[in-house]
Amino acid sequence: MNTRRDFLKTTLAAGAAAAALPSLNLIAADAPSTGGAPDLITVKGEDRVAMLDRALQAFGGLDAFVKKGQKVVIKPNIGWDRPPELCANTHPDIVSRLVKLSLDAGAAEVSVFDHTCHPWEKAYKNSGIAAAAKAAGARVLPGNDESYYREVEIPNGVSLKSVKIHTAILDSDVFINVPVLKHHGGATMTACIKNLMGIIWDRRFYHRNNLHQCIADILSVRKPDLNILDAFSPMKRNGPIGNSVADLDTTVKQLLISADIVAIDAAASRLLGHKDDIEHVRIAAAAGYGNNNLGKLKIERVKLTA
């Protein structure tokens, strides 16, 4: 893995990724540099692990988020019994690398889980995530039983007043949210905010009680410390499960990182051809959970070339 990255060189250019992908032209130009880490970084390349490592460099490495002795939970999308090449789930290489980097940073333990939609054993296995996470040193936890969840109040919730959240999230020191970008028939888009439906027990409540509002409401309880979006080959139709590689846009080849869950989803929506029309992103921004005004953000665009 290191030898692959050794021959990669980094070319920084404002708008480089935008030139490579027309839909990114909808993202406003970078805010003037004020030093320090960006609000959002997008990396375009051919190697997911190299892209992840370069993106994390902009924030000072994963050590900036994970400290010695902390409990880390990594929440990918593992919802579907689909192989990695169909991109219905987060790619296992990204999950594996994050587990290793967390342990290298001194994490006492790293847990990986999702409340899957397909039977969890099959989704965990056929996504490739369970094996990759275990091999890297993570505890792979199930999410298929109500006993794994604790009820919490949502004091600022509009539609969601209380919810049962997986104990791995509630008991963690660091929460890393790692979804895959794709079309969703009900919520329009699956990205970082929507991925939090996988930390709760009763998803049916969301669908019966204003789906977009509930998706946003949970952010008043626990926002991830870091959001990493796998947008290498976004599913442009037939989401969230997908039928074949024909449903994917294999030209995108990007990875986005931000601590601001609203900002990253606002940017991600452009990659699917949307602009300010993802309802749960608008609701979350209006509630003050993040910034969807990309023109006010410091955005760093990176293109990795061989």
Residue 31 domain flag? no
Residue 24 has pLDDT above 50, yes or no: no
The torsion defined by the Cα of 170, 175, 181 and 182, in degrees rounded to 10, comes to -10
**240: preceding bond cis by omega (within 30 degrees):** yes
> Residues of the chain with pLDDT > 70: what percent?
88
Other Cβ atoms less than 10 A from the Cβ of 233: the count is 22
202 occurs within a structural domain: yes
**CA distances from residue 179 to 171, 191, 279 in whole angstroms, order as listed:** 20, 6, 18
Query: Is residue 32 over pLDDT 70?
Result: no
The end-to-end CA distance of the chain, in Å, is: 14
Helix (H) or strand (E) holding 263: helix 261-271
pLDDT band at 155 (very low <50, low <70, confident <90, very high): confident
**pLDDT on residue 35:** 67
Q: Which tops the pLDDT comparison, 50 or 18?
A: 50
Q: What confidence score (pLDDT) does residue 194 get?
A: 98
- Whether pLDDT at 9 is above 70: no
pLDDT of amino acid 249: 97
Residue 288 lies in a domain: yes
Domain of 92? 2-7+16-26+37-305
**Whole-Å CA distances, 290 to 93, 216, 231, 298:** 28, 11, 20, 14
> Is 207 domain-assigned?
yes
pLDDT for the residue 30:
40
Asked whether the predicted pLDDT for residue 295 surpasses 60, the reply is: yes
Residue 64 counted as domain residue: yes
Q: How far is CA 260 from CA 40, 233, 289, 298, in A?
A: 8, 22, 8, 12
Mean pLDDT across the stretch 120-137?
Answer: 98
Mean pLDDT for the stretch of residues 217-224: 96
CA distance 10 to 50: 10
Mean pLDDT within 7-15: 34
Instruction: Report yes or no: 130 and 124 within 8 Å, Cβ to Cβ.
Output: yes
Q: What are the Cα distances from residue 81, in Å, to 7, 59, 86?
A: 35, 33, 10
**Band of residue 36 on the pLDDT scale cut at 50, 70, 90:** confident
CA distances from 207 to 155, 180, 199, 275 (A): 20, 21, 15, 24
Work out how many domains the chain is built from and give that number: 1
> Could you tell me where the DSSP H helices lie in 112-260?
120-126, 129-136, 167-170, 203-208, 211-217
Distance CA 237, CA 243 (A): 9
Q: Model-level pTM?
A: 0.90
- Give the strand pairing for 162-166 and 71-76: unpaired
What is the average pLDDT across 245-266? 98
> Which of 79, 149, 139 has the alpha carbon at shortest distance from 112?
139
**Residues facing 112 on adjacent strands:** 74, 140
Longest dimension (CA), the chain: 51
Q: Which residue has the higher pLDDT, 202 or 23?
A: 202
Amino acid identity, residue 195?
N
Mean pLDDT of 155-169: 96
User: Hey, is 248 helix, strand or coil?
Assistant: strand
Residue 265, pLDDT score: 98
Supply 220's token pair: 């008043």
- Per-residue confidence (pLDDT) for residue 305, from 0 to 100: 84
Instruction: Decide if 32 is inside a domain.
Output: no
Count of other CB atoms within 10 angstroms of residue 238:
16
Residue 289: inside a domain: yes
62's tokens: 């994963």
Q: What would the mean pLDDT of 250-278 be, rounded to a whole number? A: 97
CATH code of the domain containing 184: 3.40.50.11440
**283 in any annotated domain:** yes
* Residues contacting 57, CB < 8 A, separation 6+: none
Check residue 263 and give its pLDDT: 98
